[in-house]
Structure formats: C-alpha cells, structure tokens
A and B are shown apart, each in its own frame.
Chain A
Amino acid sequence: MTSESLRDTYGEELKRLGSIHKDIVVLDADLSSSTKTASFGKEFPDRFFNMGISEQSMVSAAAGLALSGKKVFASTFAVFLMRTYEQLRQSVCYNNVSANFVVTHAGITVGEDGATHQIVEDVGIMAGLPNMKVTVPVDSIETRSVIDYLVEKGTGPNYVRLSREKFPVLNEPDYQFRPGRSVTFLDGSDITIIGMGVMVSFALKAAEILRGRGISAKVINMSSIKPIDRTAILKSARETGKIVTVEEHSIYNGLGSRVAEIVSEEYPVKVARLGMNDSFGKSGKSWELFEYFHMGVDDIVKTAETCFREEPKYENIS
C-alpha cells in the first residue's frame, strides 16, 4: 500500500483551485509551511493572510471575509484551533458563514512533538457546534475530493481534520466525497469495524487476520462524522449484530460515541470502542504510539474477536 501526505494534497489542491476560483482566500497562523497553505500564499499573495500566532483574530477575520462573499479556508494545527472554540461558536457558527477550517497535525500521529500537540478531543468539540460539519479524510484521494466539494458546493462552517503523517491510499482514484455518506471498503457478515482516519487502514489489516480465524469482518470508512451515515450504521447493526469502532481520537465524543448513540436509539447492539481512553498522548514515533495506546492492528483483532465470541446480550439479536 502506498502512502501519501494529506496536507501536501491539501496545499496542492488549494493552489490549483485558487487559479480557477478568484474568490478563494486563505488564512494561516504562522504554520503555513507545515499546513501547506504556503504554496497558495506564494502563488496568490493578495489572497493569502498570514495572521501571525493569533488564532482568535484569524477565526473572526475568516468570518468577516466569508460575510463579504469570500470562499474562506483557514488553517493551523488542530490543537491550536481549539483555543478559538468561542470564536468558532459565535463569529463562525452562530453567524452560519461559509468558512472552512482545514487543520493538520491532529491526533497522535503528530509523534515526537508529544502530548501538547496531539489533540484527540477535537472531533467531539467541533461536532458539538451547531451548523458545523466535520470531516476526517482517510487518505490523499479523499482529501482532494473533500476540498473540491467544499469549493464547489460547500455551505456553512466546515471542520476538516488532516494529519502530519502520510497515510495509506485506500480509495479508488475516481472516488467522490459526499457529506453524510460512508464507504464500505470490505464486506463481511460477522462483525462490522467502523473506522475514522488512518485506523481504517489498520481495520483492513485486522479484517484479513480475522478472516484467517474464520471471522468475516465488514470495514467501513466513516469520514463524514457530521452529518453521519446513520443508514449505514444501522444496516451494519442489523446485518452483523456487533460493531467495533476505531479512531485516532478519544472514545468520548468521537466516532465511537456517535455510533453508540445511533444504535442505542434505534437498534441496540454491542458496540466496542477502540481509541484514546480519556488520556493525553505522548512523544514517540507515530506508529509505535498506536501499540503503546492499545490501538494497533493486533488490538483491533483482539477486540473484534472477543466481541464476536461474546454471547449476544441484547434481545433483538437472534
């Protein structure tokens, strides 16, 4: 499996679209060479605003630009956007402006920089905001498609979560992102693994191992966290009975919570959540950290197998 950088893709796509759409403006907060908005800035200096290490004014100015008819993209590291929660809430979401916050360096795949920079709470924080839509692209192809979608058809505020690390390419080249639509990468009948971000690629590896042990696992990429693909979640609950969620994020208020909410409302089945368990990250190599926090391929296999072999505890599972 080849891996590609999501943030490089973001920067390239933004630059490409910038020459077509003259109303695109981009803001950054002194991280443009890392978020990759710098290439847009170099090409279109008049439409690029480096606001300095001043995230609060960046977010309110993004709202003002959007209120003036601009297609706005604002970027920084995911963790630093969180300090502007209230600007996002009032300047952006309450005004319901079309502004896109594409953040990079989310999750533990920040690696060596450690816990201070590894935000694992952001998806929950953002999804709680009225009007805000939340997307976690799984690979470079989906990243490109999400950015295209936002420029062509995007409305209201959007949060797009990208990584520092390169991630395996999982989608077909002609894949097209649609909000609220998930993609089933692998069909299966015994259990469903619903993933967000890079852990979808782990889930696919886990499914292979599980197949060797006689367990047929379905794997879904749930990149659109809000709106979420309720239909696909409930279909999996009905067809496979049990669900495992995997996310490079806290199990509180992230993908696992959303899935558990939905099945408990309409079709309660066992949901096992794998992710960060009320904990900060730590320094280390990105891929070592998944083992350290019990979120690696083997952990997914173990969780899925245990879950599968458990007696059903719910009445509607026959």
Chain B
Amino acid sequence: MEQISVSDLKGISAQIRKRVIEMVYSAKSGHPGGSLSITDILTVLYFREMNIDPLKPDDPDRDRLVLSKGHASPGLYATLAIRGFFPEEYLSGFRKISSKLEGHVHRGVPGVEASTGSLGQGIGIAVGMALAGKLDRKSYHVYAIIGDGELQEGSVWESFMAGYKYTLDNMTVILDRNRVQLDGFTKDIMPQNNIREMVSSFGWEVFEIDGHNYDEIIEAIEKAKNFRGKPTFILANTIKGKGVSYMENNPKYHGSPPASDEEYERALRELSGDVP
C-alpha cells in the first residue's frame, strides 16, 4: 500500500467521486459538495497513509479517522467501500430505510469510527481517542476532518485547547477549507480573520496545502504524523464540489444532488474525463 502511485490514487478518487454522485442522485438527497472537496484527502489517507486493514476494522493498533463534518458521508462511505470495508453494492442503499448507510456518518457501517453529523463534536471524540492512545502508549494516529463552516462552532476551539494541553502529537486535524457553507460563502456568513494564525496561536503546528494536489497532501500528512511535541493541523485549501463543473464553488450543492438526469449524466461524464 505504501508504494501506491499518485496516478493510481487519482484513478481511485475518480471512482469515489462517481460513487458520491450516484449515491446522492439515487437518494435524491445528500451532500455532494463537501464530499467532493475531501475526496483527494480521503483517498491519500485510506489508500496510502493510514495503517488500516479492512479485514481487521477493530484492530486496537489501527489508525483512526473521525469525519467530524459528518454530512460528507457519501465521500467516506464510498472510500470505505472501495477500500474493501464492505461491498460497493451497499452504497446504493445510502439514506434508504433498508440500509445502515445513514444520511450522516454512522458507526454501524464497517470502518466508521464514530457517528457524527452535528458539527463540532467529531474533533472532540478524536481528542478522546488520542488521549486513550497516549495513555495506552499505542502508536496509532488519530485524524479528524473538519469543515471551515464547522470552525464557527465554539466546541471546535475547546478541542484545540485540549489538544494543546495534552500535547496530542498523535492527532492531526485536517481542515477542508472550501470556503462554502449551507447558506453561502464563509466570508459572508461568519468570516474568520486568519485561520492559520488562529489555530497556530492555540498551540498547533499548522501546514497549509492545496487539498487537491497529491504531492502536497502526501507530504503534509507524512510530516504531520511524524511531528512530535504539538498536535498538527493541515489547512487544506479545497474547492467545494471539486470535479463537477456546475457544483464547484456553488453553495447550492452543499446539500443538493444533481437536479436532473442531464446534470447527473454530465457529472458522471466529467468525472470520467469524458467531456468535450
């Protein structure tokens, strides 16, 4: 797994993005925008950087990831399925009554570490997992992916304080900085002056990257997981709806599926690289 190439990772992420579109279109609901913005990060984590085994989802030494922005469930479910935690055909049950694939990330799904959905909580759960890792002298690493709208929740900053106090260098928070939230752009809804400085001043080591550049994602994650003495924070600049032209930077697709068969087919064609 360690040696998987960037071009192979890109192929996998295209598959994940297509599954995301299929899932939300089939469910006629769900959150494509924030799933597509973290797809490249999830791909690098689950297919290259994290110490995980789909056959041993309860291995006490496994790395953990908590998707604190639990609405990006299509992105995580598709990643876990393609990684082999459960059959890909289960994805068609997303948000449906017969399925375990709850609308927001649900722990009943193999590979999911914690149920999330209300913002500002997953990062705190990850703090608890990192505290336990330290206490048990385990070498596992804990990742939490949070959204930039989520940074508006005060509880996130409580967790930053706790990470600093307990020197949780076995924990990395990845910020999906896509600049869009449900009601519009983050700069209009509730601007945050300088996230990099804010988090850094809370005592975290900050790395800033292009969240769609594989070399940068890989380098930042490897630096973060090997960093000692401070918890780490990766500020990943991303594009909401990345890969589907009409969804990119469009708040409408925070929580709406393709609006028509034409939009649906166009999304799949674009993600296949099959666009004039």
* Interface residues in chain A, defined as those with a beta carbon under 8 Å from any beta carbon in chain B: 25, 46-47, 49, 51-52, 54, 56-57, 59-70, 86-87, 89-91, 94-95
Q: Is the CB of B128 within 8 A of A56?
A: no
Interface 1/0 per residue, B155-183 and A, CB below 8 Å? 10011011001100000000000000000
Q: Is the CB of A95 within 8 A of B115?
A: yes
Closest to B102 in A: A94
Task: Provide the bound-state CA to CA distance between A49 and B161, in Å.
Answer: 13
The residue that A68 contacts in the complex, of B120, B133, B165, with Cβ under 8 A, is: B133
Task: Provide the bound-state CA to CA distance between A63 and B127, in Å.
Answer: 10
Q: Is the CB of B128 within 8 A of A65?
A: yes
B91 within 8 A of A: no
Q: Is the CB of A91 within 8 A of B124?
A: yes
Cβ contacts under 8 Å, A47 to chain B = 135
Interface 1/0 per residue, B96-125 and A, CB below 8 Å? 000000000001000001111110111111
Q: Is the CB of B158 within 8 A of A68?
A: no
B81 within 8 A of A: no
Closest to A60 in B: B124
Task: Provide the bound-state CA to CA distance between A52 and B117, in Å.
Answer: 25
Which secondary structure characterizes the binding site on chain A?
A: helix
Closest to B113 in A: A67
Q: Is the CB of B155 within 8 A of A56?
A: yes
Cβ contacts under 8 Å, A25 to chain B = 131-132, 135
Q: Is the CB of A64 within 8 A of B115?
A: no
| B: interface residue count bin | 20 to 34
Query: Known: A59-B124, A86-B118, A91-B121. Is A64-B155 also a contact (CB below 8 A)?
Result: no
B154 within 8 A of A: yes
Task: Provide the bound-state CA to CA distance between A52 and B160, in Å.
Answer: 12
Task: Provide the bound-state CA to CA distance between A66 and B133, in Å.
Answer: 12
Between A52, A65, A86, the greatest number of chain B beta carbons within 10 A of the residue's beta carbon is seen for A65
The residue that A61 contacts in the complex, of B135, B136, B162, with Cβ under 8 A, is: B162
Cβ contacts under 8 Å, A62 to chain B = 128
A124 to chain B, nearest CB (A): 21
A selection of 28 A-B contacts at a CB cut-off of 8 Å is: A25-B131, A25-B132, A52-B158, A54-B155, A56-B154, A57-B162, A60-B122, A61-B124, A61-B125, A61-B131, A61-B159, A61-B162, A63-B125, A64-B66, A64-B124, A64-B126, A64-B130, A67-B113, A67-B114, A67-B128, A67-B129, A69-B60, A70-B132, A89-B118, A91-B124, A91-B125, A94-B115, A95-B115
Cβ contacts under 8 Å, A61 to chain B = 124-125, 127-128, 131, 159, 162
Task: Provide the bound-state CA to CA distance between A70 and B60, in Å.
Answer: 13
Cβ contacts under 8 Å, A94 to chain B = 115
Q: Is the CB of A64 within 8 A of B128?
A: yes
B89 to chain A, nearest CB (A): 26
Cβ contacts under 8 Å, A86 to chain B = 118, 121
